Every structure is written in C-alpha cells, then in structure tokens.
Structure 1
C-alpha cells in the first residue's frame, strides 16, 4: 500500500536517494544535503503555519510503501513562486517582418525572457522510483496534490503550473543549453541546473540574454527541443494534460521544457472529487468494492492512497475497514475525499 504524506525530518536519507536517482534536469531535487534538509524543515514549518514570509510556503510530500517501509517517490507544491527570488522563464511568441514594397512577409518565432509566473502556485519535485512505476502509483502521486487543493483551495493561487523536464541525454546534455553555452556561458548544463537548484538563480540570470531570441538563429538541434519533454516525463505530462493543463508558450530557460498551467477551478480532479461520511465495516462486507484515490480532510496530517471501498451515493457514505482508516488517519463519521480512478 502506497501512502502520500507530508515529509518528515526522518525522511532525509530517503529524499537524498530519490534526488540521486532522479538524474539531471529535475532542478528542485539537487543532491545537496544542506538544501534538502532546508526543504524538509521549510515544508514542516509550512504545514504548521510557521514560515517567516506568508506566501512562501512549500508543501513537500513523500510516497511511502507501507509494506516495504520505504519512501519511493516525492512531490511538492510551492504556494507562490518568485516572492523571495526571481522565477524566470521564456515565452515563445511571434513577430512579423513585413515589407509591401518587396512583397516580403515573414512570421518568426521569438523567445522572450520574463517572470510572468510570479505569484503562481507550482507543482514540482515529482519523482517516482523506477521499481514503483506501475499500477496506479503515478496517478496517485499526481492527483493527491489536487485533493489537498480541493480541501484547502484558499491556500493556493488562481493559476497552477508545472515545469516539465526538457530533453537531455543520459549525461545531462541539453541541445538547447548547448546553444546557450556556446554563445553566452562557459559552464555545463548539469552545473547550471545544480546552481539553480541550490538557489543561485541570480548568477544564471545575469548571464542570460535579456533581449528576445530569434528562434531561427538557434541551432537546428536546439530548435527541435523547444517545448518538448524528456522521455521519462511523458507519463507525468499526459496526466496533467488530462486534468486540463495546457501549454501557453512558456518554456524553461535551461532545457526549453514546457511549462503547463491550469486555472485552479478548472482542474478536473479538483472538481470531480467529493467528501463522503465514513462508515466502518468488516472486509467481508465490502462485496462491491472498487478502487478510488482517497484522502482525509486534514492538512498537516494529510494522507492519500488508492484504497478499495464501497460508496452509497444516495446516503453520501463511504464504507471502509478500520485498518484502511488507520493508514488514512481518519475516524468513523469523519469526511473522506474520494476520486474515481
């Protein structure tokens, strides 16, 4: 049984293991002890309302295999990006170069540097270890965040977005970064990615080209990966697209991976989930049980999982066992948020 729960201090070793296995391109999971411990501490303070600057909360979760007693994945929600450090992206748009006299009309793609997502809530740090990429685990990791948002919508921004990992090879080489490196930088993509992950964004931003970049001047290899995702990120992208997330032309400044966004009120799982009253029964009474993604309605003790339950839509009741309720940290007659898979 996989449970999604807020990260704890004792999860550091497991978090470092996930960071090491995630490889290049997942900026928010750098293999840096100081930063990872700070992220754990900041998440604990965020869940307990103890952050120094309102709006800078980060809610960090782990996926725990209760049978193996092992952390097998991570995910997080940044309440509002760009409040204490700039959050940069490129926006892909078009300009027209036209001359009636010479009968020339060219529409050209350009990348414009900016901070348009400042104040928006970000889905980030999503990683599932390879041996657990099966069944409903990926869906649970992705959708559990929306169950929390549904219960505590006032804690999040109107716009929810996610940066998707862009194209790079097994050594962390990005075709888009290679062009930037040759023209503006003298460091490797893996180093730039790491510096951003540990908070050194100003150093990188100082070297980025500030004026719009004409896409047709980039190398063919760099042009080909703009707005494309890493092969390991395709399943995560599809899950978010099914929720209603769309690409409005924003891409990452390092690997050109797409940023996708959705109005919080239009997220499918958030709209379709419902809270039902729990009734405890014996396992033998769950004759017509089905699998649902479920969460309790608590915040600092949030729990989410895929469990087999029965629902009575007329009575607005959900039937589950005491053992299931124990994992979900829920008492009889309390509300359980359920979502059909």
Structure 2
C-alpha cells in the first residue's frame, strides 16, 4: 500500500537519492546532503513547534509499505519571503502613446515583483519515475490539500506553486540565455544550482530593477514565458484541476509559470468533509468501480493519507481494516475524505 506521512530524520538518505533523479531546473530539491539535512530538520522542527514563522514548512513522503521505501516527496512552505526577499516577474503592459503623432503601442514587459511575500507555497513535488503509475502522483500532490484543510490556521489564506520552466534536453533555458546571462557570466545550470542552495535572493538582487520589454528578448525566449517543462506538465495539470491558475507571474530564471489560488477555494479543501470511521468487515460490499477517495486522518503529528474506495452510511464512512491501519485510526475516529478527481461524485 502507498501512504503519505510526515518526513523523518532517517529519510535523508532516500531523499538525497530522489534528488539525484530530478535534473536541472528542480531548485527545491538540490543534490546536496547538507542542504537536504537542513531542510528535513527544519520541517521536523515545524511539526514540533520549534520553528519561527519564517522557517516553517512541511515535507511529506510517499512510502511503499511493502518495501518500506520512500518513493516520492512533496512539501508546503508556510510563509515565503519573510527571511529573504521572494522575487518573480509579473508580466504586465506598458503603453507608449502620442495622440499628436497618432502613435499607440501596447507592449508586454516584465516587472520584478515581491507580490507573493507571506503566501504559502506548494513545492518540492517529485515522484520516482518507477512509481509514476496507479495514481501515485495524484496522492502525492493532493494529500497536501487535506492537510491544509485540517489545519488551515497554520497557513496563509493564499497559496502559490512555482512550476519548473522550459529547458531543453541539455539543460539550456532559452529565457535565461536571452535575459539572465546578460547580467551573470554563468550557465543556467549553475544559476539553478545556486538558487537551490538558497542563494536565489542574492542573484535576484543583481537583476535589473526596471521593467524589461518582452519584445527585446529572442523569439525563442518569448515563446517559453509561462511555459511548463514537459516533465512538470502532469504536476501542473493536477494543480489546475484543483483550481490553481496562472495569473501572470513567472520565475525570474526560467520563466516557468506561478500558479495561485485562495486556500479555501481549492477544490479538495472546499469539498472535503469529515466523517466518523466505521470498519467494514466484508470488503466485498465496497464497490471497486465507485469513485476513488483521498482519505486522511486528522492527527497533526502523525498525519497519514491514502487512496481507497469507501461506502457511506448516514454520518459514517465505511473503510476496510487495511485502510484503517494505514491511517492509524479506529472505529469512531474522524477522518477527512474527498474524491480524487473533481468530476467524480460520491
């Protein structure tokens, strides 16, 4: 069975192994043992209420209970940009007009912005390629929403997700080549590495503060503004289905889109409900062709989430013993449930 649980200190080695498979552009999971260790320790401190607001974050792992192997990871940062500036580009419009000369030009421009300061952030979503099946990616991504629904007071009322921008098979970013390289004598991969090592603010501070006209970029660079990396398209589609939308903000390095939404308007948060647990002793009464549900307990320190089929009886939700064991709940305990996909109905 596949379960979502909080990260543990002893998961570090497996997380570093996952980091080795991410490739260029995945800045939130750098292949660096010290950085991973610091991140995991910070997450554990958050769960035990030992971290100040600017350091708080949550990291969840997807575990295969048969092999006891961690095969995926996803995270939430509680409030971004409070300890160092959070930068992105807002794609806006600059108008050049002269009534006397009968000239009117509408031009796209990039404005350096800190507008998302204080927002919560969905981040660090990565699934081992060997496990990209059986709806594992959906569980890994959406289980975070049930956690946020359970503990909304621990997050901002708005959430963003930075999507990895386009780069080719050699790790070359057209946007970086057309813009960033003019200000830094380094390859995109090196800038990407520095960003993953926590130096993104330092680099951003050296970027020009005035608006950058999109028309001045190469055609190749213009075409990737707001474009998601092919490997990240499934993750973006999941977030889009839950109500997160591109609102015109992009990453300053690779021009990947930033998706955003109010937490309360995310589909899995809005539609999920709390139910009292009933153990179904005869699993055959639970239809296998019914909607698949994401189920989570409501235990802050020992959060668990799984996928499964269920039945509803009055105010109770019927689940087999195996799911109850995975969620670490017993009859009468309360769990949260929502259909895996928006179009499904219970």
TM-score, reference length from structure 2: 0.95
SS in 2 for 1:250: strand
Conserved? CA contact 1:286–1:319, under 8 Å: no
- What is the match of residue 124 of structure 1? 123
SS in 2 for 1:199: helix
The aligned counterpart of 1:24 is 24
1:211 aligns with 2:210: yes
Paired residues, number: 338
Q: Which runs of 4+ in 1 moved over 4 A?
A: none
Measured in 1, the distance between the counterparts of 2:283 and 2:182 equals 67
* CA-to-aligned-CA distance 1:212-243 (integer Å, 9 cap, x gap): 10000011111110000000111111111111
Which residue in 1 is equivalent to 2:47?
A: 47
Unaligned runs of 5+ in 1: none
Shift of 1:76: 0.2
The answer to whether the Cα contact below 8 Å between 1:286 and 1:320 also exists between their aligned partners in 2 is no
Distance in 2 (alpha carbons) for counterparts of 1:293 and 1:38: 30
TM-score by length of 1: 0.96
Contact 1:86/1:201 (8 A) holds in 2: no
Residue deviations 1:33-62 (CA, integer Å, cap 9, x gap): 1110011101111111111x2243110011
How far apart are residue 285 of structure 1 and its match? 5.2
Q: Distance in 2 between matches of 1:243 and 1:70?
A: 28
Note the C-alpha offset of 1:95: 0.8
In structure 1, the residue matched to 2:343 is none
Could you say what secondary structure the match of 2:148 adopts? helix
Structure 2 CA distance for aligned equivalents of residues 243 and 118 of structure 1: 22
Match of 1:303 in 2: 304
Matched, 1:69 2:76: no
Query: 1:5-44: per-residue Cα shift (whole Å, max 9, x none)?
Result: 1111111111011111111111110001111001110111
| 1:224–1:284 Cα change, 3 Å | closer
Aligned ranges 1:1-341 → 2 under 5 Å: 1-51=1-51, 53-284=52-283, 286-288=285-287, 290=290, 291-312=292-313, 315-341=314-340
Pairwise CA distance, 1:248: 1.2
The secondary structure found in structure 2 opposite 1:26 is coil
| Deviation, structure 1 residue 170 | 2.3
The unaligned stretches of length 5 or more in structure 2 are 341-346
1:321 CA drift (Å): 2.5
